[in-house]
């Protein structure tokens, strides 16, 4: 059994599994959800059903292995209960909770006044340009966390192919522009080839347009800033609570260049990016 990285969940990779009844895969992932998320049965059931639907559509993603009692998951008390405020998942819809956490982090001197001001400005801009004009933007279920750790790929004969999609803990109904913004954002955060926001945006929109019509992305940078603000504060919150009781390096990885990227996105001149060219 090998412990894997995670935010508030504990994940373990099981190998050389011996099944008492029948047969099954030789490897599997054991997920122990955090005590707060586990309070919402519908959230876990939704993730299981969503993955099942995607698998039926030919999009490979995790499948559950039923317990001996036939259930796909169960609540097992392995520690004393915890009672704290909870932000269910990273989403711009939870920006009020993010702002409350930001104030708490500021009070504890975990972040500076300058960083707090930056986050507040970015979320206010999202409110004014997108949230208050909801009727103008397309909405639907979004993954919200497409990044280099959640997309599985293989390379054969010099050609790369996506073989699977992971981590549906942040799936929720939101603006389509936020899903596109999240994808561009995480590509930019790990942009070792220095392609730049403009090139990455064009690539994502071109690929998106091959599958479905691209929604209005006029305020893509605004959505990117809001999503990054939420991610930065949520990561610090997770480290502060530290349910796992172990290393917080994984949850703080966005902090390494996230704040400088947020500054760049907020103060840069992005008028040259024509986000609707792919239409």
Concatenating the DSSP letter of every residue in 149-179 gives TTEEEEEETTEEEEEEE---TT-EEEEHHHH
Tally of domains within the chain? 1
Per-chain mean pLDDT for the chain: 83
Q: Which of 75-84, 161-170, 252-261 has the highest mean pLDDT?
A: 252-261
Tell me whether residue 222 is in a domain: yes
153: phi then psi, degrees, rounded to nearest 5:
-135, 155
Tell me whether residue 262 is in a domain: yes
pLDDT surpasses 80 at 173: yes
Q: Taking a C-beta distance cutoff of 8 angstroms, is the pair 179, 220 a contact? A: no
Where does residue 4 fall: left (phi above 0), alpha (psi -120 to 50 degrees), or beta otherwise? beta
Tell me whether residue 84 is in a domain: no
Tell me whether residue 184 is in a domain: yes
pLDDT of residue 119: 97
pLDDT surpasses 90 at 143: no
> Can you tell me the mean pLDDT for 179-202?
90
Q: What domain range includes position 262?
A: 92-267
pLDDT surpasses 80 at 121: yes
Predicted TM-score (pTM) of this structure: 0.71
> Can you tell me the mean pLDDT for 208-232?
92
pLDDT surpasses 90 at 35: no
pLDDT surpasses 60 at 82: no
Residue, of 67 and 211, whose pLDDT is higher: 211
Tell me the percentage of the chain whose pLDDT exceeds 90: 33
C-alpha distances (whole Å) from 201 to each of 77, 186, 198, 215, 277 are 45, 11, 5, 13, 10
pLDDT of residue 144: 82
Give the pair of three-digit tokens for residue 40.
Answer: 């919402």
Tell me whether residue 223 is in a domain: yes
The enclosing H or E element of 126 equals helix 113-129
Read off the CATH number of the domain in which 238 is found: 3.90.1200.10
Q: Taking a C-beta distance cutoff of 8 angstroms, is the pair 258, 228 a contact? A: yes
pLDDT of residue 222: 96
Q: Taking a C-beta distance cutoff of 8 angstroms, is the pair 137, 130 a contact? A: yes
> Can you tell me the mean pLDDT for 7-31?
79
Tell me whether residue 79 is in a domain: no
Tell me whether residue 34 is in a domain: no
Long-range pairs, 5-11, Cβ under 8 A, ≥24:
5/250, 6/244, 6/250, 7/238, 7/250, 7/251, 8/34, 8/36, 8/37, 8/238, 8/241, 8/243, 8/244, 9/33, 9/34, 9/37, 9/169, 10/244
Q: Taking a C-beta distance cutoff of 8 angstroms, is the pair 113, 106 a contact? A: yes
> Can you tell me the mean pLDDT for 181-210?
90
Could you give the 3-state DSSP secondary structure of residue 220? helix
Q: Would you place residue 13 in the very low, low, confident or very high pLDDT band (cuts 50, 70, 90)? A: confident
Could you give the 3-state DSSP secondary structure of residue 188? helix
Tell me whether residue 68 is in a domain: no
167: phi then psi, degrees, rounded to nearest 5:
60, 90
> Can you tell me the mean pLDDT for 237-245?
73
Distance of CA 15 to the CA centre of its chain: 27
Among 59-63, 77-81, 167-171, 229-233, the range scoring the smallest mean pLDDT is 77-81
How confident is the model over 191-200, as pLDDT tens digits?
Answer: 877 888 999 9
Q: Taking a C-beta distance cutoff of 8 angstroms, is the pair 279, 214 a contact? A: yes
């Amino acid at each position: 059994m090998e412990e894997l990285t995670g935010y508030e969940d504990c994940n373990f990779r099981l190998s050389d599994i011996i099944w008492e009844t029948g047969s099954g895969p030789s490897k599997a992932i054991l997920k122990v959800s955090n005590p707060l998320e586990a309070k919402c049965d519908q959230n876990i059931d939704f993730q299981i059903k969503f993955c099942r639907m995607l698998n039926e559509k030919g999009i490979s993603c995790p499948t559950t292995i039923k317990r001996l009692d036939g259930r796909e998951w169960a609540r097992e008390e392995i520690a004393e209960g915890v009672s704290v405020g909870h932000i269910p998942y990273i989403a711009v819809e939870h920006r009020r909770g993010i702002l409350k956490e930001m104030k708490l982090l500021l009070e504890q001197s975990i972040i500076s006044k300058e960083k707090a001001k930056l986050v507040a400005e970015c979320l206010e801009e999202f409110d004014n340009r997108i949230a208050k004009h909801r009727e103008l933007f397309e909405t639907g279920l979004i993954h919200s966390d497409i990044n280099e750790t959640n997309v599985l790929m293989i390379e054969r004969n010099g050609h790369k192919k996506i073989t699977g999609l992971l981590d549906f803990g942040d799936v929720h109904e939101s603006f389509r522009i936020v899903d596109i913004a999240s994808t561009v954002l995480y590509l930019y955060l790990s942009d070792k080839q220095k392609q730049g926001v403009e090139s990455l945006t064009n690539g994502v929109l071109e690929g998106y347009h091959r599958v479905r019509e691209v929604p209005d992305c006029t305020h893509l940078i605004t959505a990117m800033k809001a999503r990054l603000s939420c991610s930065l504060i949520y990561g610090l919150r997770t480290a502060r609570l530290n349910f796992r009781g172990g290393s917080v390096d994984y949850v703080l990885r966005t902090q390494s260049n996230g704040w400088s990227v947020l500054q760049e996105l907020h103060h840069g001149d992005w008028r040259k990016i024509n986000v609707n060219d792919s239409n």
